[in-house]
Amino acid sequence: MDYKAAGAPKLGKKAPKHLEHNAHGSKKKPFGQRPSKDELLARMKAAAEAKKAD
């Protein structure tokens, strides 16, 4: 008997098991695009400064 062919087909192992609810381009962020690296670094630096000021 060919046991390899029995059962459900295996899905890709590297694919995510589900979609994120707030992924870029979804209902919650329909027109949102990923921020550029410069914008991200600026936002992180501003948050660090605000935390340091407290």
Distance CA 29, CA 18 (A): 17
Compute the mean pLDDT over every residue in the chain, rounded to the nearest whole number. Answer: 80
Q: Residue 31: what are its φ and ψ, rounded to 5°?
A: -110, 0
pLDDT value of residue 31: 74
Residue 11 has pLDDT above 70, yes or no: no
Q: Can you give the pTM of this predicted structure?
A: 0.43
Residue 19 has pLDDT above 70, yes or no: yes
pLDDT value of residue 44: 95
DSSP 6-18: SSSPPPPSSS-SS
